[in-house]
Amino acid sequence: MQDFIREMPKAELHVHLEGTLEPEHIFALAERNQIDLEYKTPEEVIDAYNFHDLPSFLAIYYAAMGVLQTEEDFFELTYHYFLRAHQDNIVYVEPFFDPQGHTSRGVSFETVINGIHRAQVAAREKLGIESNLIMCFLRDASAESAMQHLHMSLAYRDWIIGVGLDSDEKDNPPSKFREVFALARQEGYKLTMHCDVNQVDIVDHIWQCLDDIEVDRIDHGINSLEDEKLCQEIATRGLGLTVCPVSNRFVVQSLTSQEIKAMLARRMKVSIHSDDPGYFRAYLTDNYLALIEEAEFSRAEIMQLNRHAFETSWLEDEQKQSYLERLQRYSS
């Protein structure tokens, strides 16, 4: 089963580019950009990865972003992820980026997206990995800031397939960004939002995603299982749920494997992703392998999880079908 998972052609729909920043790369960029770090070695950085909830993770996450300064930095960040994705036989990616985490430090939107886009082109040409970029808004920033960044993005509309919402969910419901996402949809963007595990009012937040925002996909969304009517609605709409098992373990001390099985049983289009692999020390294949260690997932279930990732991607139908046929040939 391990070899089957490693060699399986995969799609990844929930990975934050800033979350792929490895400790060794943090130090290399800090040295190049003459930035003083709190830690003396990469090992000290890893030792500090003692996350127990979302805020404790975000504190370290945003501090590390400070080493990203130039277009070349963003190219390296993104291409390093693609190289690692290639090892996992990931063939299609819809990565997130958080421009507000950089513009707030004086790094221009143009610098960020030019570096990322160059890496996407290089990954397509050199590694055979296709990708479409998702711009995330920080939910603990203002709706006004999100709207400003939405307008910034329009100059690069052809480079961005959709918008998302991430960061600290406490007191920052989806409805706070209703107008931003309505305009994003008018501009042709696809829509997704994080509904992180075990957050306050999380079931209400998921309903808001469906009824107020009318999202095309939900990131995480495990707590939908608390409301059977909600599960039925998600399944009826065919909405994807991008679940990140190793990431979940830092919050609920479980890979949520039983919850993933429960979603499959309800015909919900749940799929598996890595979230912030540079911090959680687990890329996509590692997440699948961790799942089969914690619970007995059959080969058919693993295939179904991966099939859902392709099915709920934002690829054009013809491209999507091509990947699904490739996956089917692999399993035959």
| Residue numbers of the domain that contains 303 | 2-331
For residue range 243-297, list pLDDT tens digits in order: 999 999 987 888 999 999 999 999 999 999 999 999 999 999 999 999 999 998 9
Q: What's the whole-number mean pLDDT along residues 147-158?
A: 98
- Specify the CATH number for the domain of residue 147: 3.20.20.140
Please tell me the predicted confidence (pLDDT) of residue 91. 98
| Beta carbons of 96 and 17 less than 8 angstroms apart | yes
Q: What's the whole-number mean pLDDT along residues 289-308?
A: 96
Which element (helix H / strand E) includes 138?
strand 133-138
Q: What's the whole-number mean pLDDT along residues 194-209?
A: 97
Please tell me the predicted confidence (pLDDT) of residue 63. 85
* Mean pLDDT (the chain, rounded): 96
How far apart CA 314 and CA 190 sit, in angstroms, is: 8
Q: Of 278, 280, 284, nearest to 85 (Cα)?
A: 284
In terms of Cβ atoms closer than 10 Å to its own Cβ (0-12, 13-18, 19+), residue 46 is middle
| Beta carbons of 292 and 5 less than 8 angstroms apart | yes
Q: Of 76, 75, 61, nearest to 113 (Cα)?
A: 75
Q: Is the pLDDT of residue 54 over 90?
A: no
Please tell me the predicted confidence (pLDDT) of residue 163. 99
- Coil, helix or strand for 41? coil
Total structural domains within the chain = 1
Residue 169 has phi, psi (to 5 degrees) of -80, -20
